[in-house]
A and B are shown apart, each in its own frame.
Chain A
């Protein structure tokens, strides 16, 4: 189990700053996710952790070791690539055994360990095949087996599920989680899929445009986003952003008090999750624009005094243009 300390990591490509003074710690044995849209710098950060890229500034520590300038092959880090990067000229067995062969492990021990890992991942019947002769899901397991085989000090995952179809993805997701638990290895996982991040992680770091926006447990990031970006990016339905105003110590939306003001003053942006707003008989006067039937629930899009808001609704749907009220039970205030 390795503790990782990132200290003001910066990466510039010419005049473009891909990563801007990112500092954070990852705890030993933690499943830690770097979440962000494309161009957020999450992959750049992962490559720096891997040693495939070097930071322009800043330091990187694994436990007490400064590894900032340590090359990839001396870091003892295993990585699962997005396209798996299985060596096409080697069999599955040779692929899994490759890290061990490089370590000059004895042939007998390689065979034994490969068999052991392959059985655990249920790919032991594929050992003699070439990567091109097995399915995408199987390739992914081989890539995991290769990463596990030599007991690394750190796992890195670079969007390992994005090449799988939806069903396989769910299965592989729980698989990865279980594997990391069993091996007890610190894991860093890169994804742009917030569902994946929420489901897998002990903690999530949200990145935007090379800046670290927020680090925290999935629920904490979900409930208390620090910026409108985090609020709208995390969550399977985007957070509603409405305008509110501060009067005294309270924030009001449509004349109804929704939250404490804290330090905020004047006009503020208020984030409301669709499940924190209810279509009911009191609150802010509103009008239904249209609804979508999701089977288990309805998504109502309502006009709340000139602002469009999405509300989750259980029970019978109102008709379009029906008047009614939106009640906000929880809101996040973004002081501008």
Chain B
């Protein structure tokens, strides 16, 4: 292929993929946003309107709560589990690891929705944040454990052995040596966990009933009128706000740990 047609083709695909992002940036500042691209007749009115919309901000708080708690629970438990899986060899370890891979792709899928609903119902956790957090954690833990284990595997054992020889108990060794050396992997996993929980629509949509408990990902679906037409002004502004926490987290982690994260980042 000669240069001109190739550039043209690349340009076409680039525009194709860039359009939604341009919309995301332009629509929130437009007086009359539509499903088209136009240079915005600039306004900030959409954001105050968003504040007036019932439940909009509250849903944001719910999202932060769900994603935040899930991130902390998954980060803590996955680190401890991964450390044990990496450093301790015991009967059936390989089976456990195999199951981790298996379950990481199965548990939160659409296929599991009915059993998850039934279990949550029987535990009396339907329409509670705790129920959603538990299911999210269950779904995210296997992958998280696997990623952190892989990371811990790359840290030479000699550091921990040196610490034991220096008189530190295994717990002190974990806290003073293994954990600080694992922060990179922990940061990646925390970020991915937060994003997955923040993004998740299906689980809270199925398990929550009361609108005041909806996270942003579910609440966004209530911005429609009786005819099923979207309030585009509010929707666009909301969509922009919705991406911000993930973006901020990404930037913070990049700043602190100084590495790039590629792929899998959605907002």
Q: Name A residues whose Cβ lies closer than 8 Å to a Cβ of B.
A: 50-52, 71-74, 76-79, 81, 83, 85-89, 98-99, 102-103, 146, 150, 156
Mask of B137-172 contacts with A, CB within 8 angstroms, 1/0: 000000000000000000010110111111111101
From B156, B165, B176, B181, contact of A79 by CB (8 A)? B165
The answer to whether the Cβ of B177 comes within 8 Å of any Cβ in the partner chain is: yes
Apart from the given pairs A77-B165, A89-B180, 13 other A-B contacts in the complex at a CB distance below 8 Å: A51-B164, A52-B165, A71-B164, A72-B164, A73-B169, A79-B161, A85-B156, A85-B162, A89-B181, A98-B166, A98-B176, A102-B168, A156-B165
Number of interface residues of B (CB under 8 A): 18
Max chain A Cβ within 10 angstroms of own Cβ: one of B161, B167, B181? B167
Contact yes or no, B165 A98, CB < 8 A: no
| B170: chain A residues within 8 A (beta carbon) | 73
Contact yes or no, A87 B162, CB < 8 A: yes
| B158: chain A residues within 8 A (beta carbon) | 81, 83, 85
* Closest residue on chain B to residue A77 by CB atoms: B165
* Closest residue on chain A to residue B155 by CB atoms: A88
Decide: A102 near B166, CB < 8 A? Known: A81-B161, A85-B156. Answer: yes
* Closest residue on chain A to residue B166 by CB atoms: A99
- Give chain B interface residues in 48-83, CB to chain A under 8 Å: none
- How far is it, in angstroms, between the C-alpha of A156 and the C-alpha of B158 when the chains are bound? 14
Chain B's nearest CB lies how many Å from the CB of A78?
A: 6
How many residue pairs, one in A and one in B, have C-beta atoms under 8 Å apart?
A: 61
Contact yes or no, A99 B167, CB < 8 A: yes
Chain B's nearest CB lies how many Å from the CB of A225?
A: 33
Decide: A50 near B166, CB < 8 A? Known: A85-B156, A89-B181. Answer: no
Chain A's nearest CB lies how many Å from the CB of B163?
A: 7
Contact yes or no, A72 B177, CB < 8 A: no
Contact yes or no, A102 B172, CB < 8 A: yes
* Closest residue on chain A to residue B159 by CB atoms: A85
CB-defined A-B contacts under 8 Å, sample of 22: A52-B164, A52-B165, A72-B161, A73-B170, A77-B165, A78-B165, A78-B166, A79-B165, A81-B158, A81-B162, A83-B158, A86-B162, A87-B159, A88-B159, A89-B181, A98-B166, A98-B176, A102-B166, A102-B167, A102-B172, A102-B176, A146-B166
| A52: chain B residues within 8 A (beta carbon) | 161, 164-165
Decide: A79 near B168, CB < 8 A? Known: A85-B156, A87-B177, A89-B181. Answer: no
| B169: chain A residues within 8 A (beta carbon) | 73
Chain A's nearest CB lies how many Å from the CB of B31?
A: 53
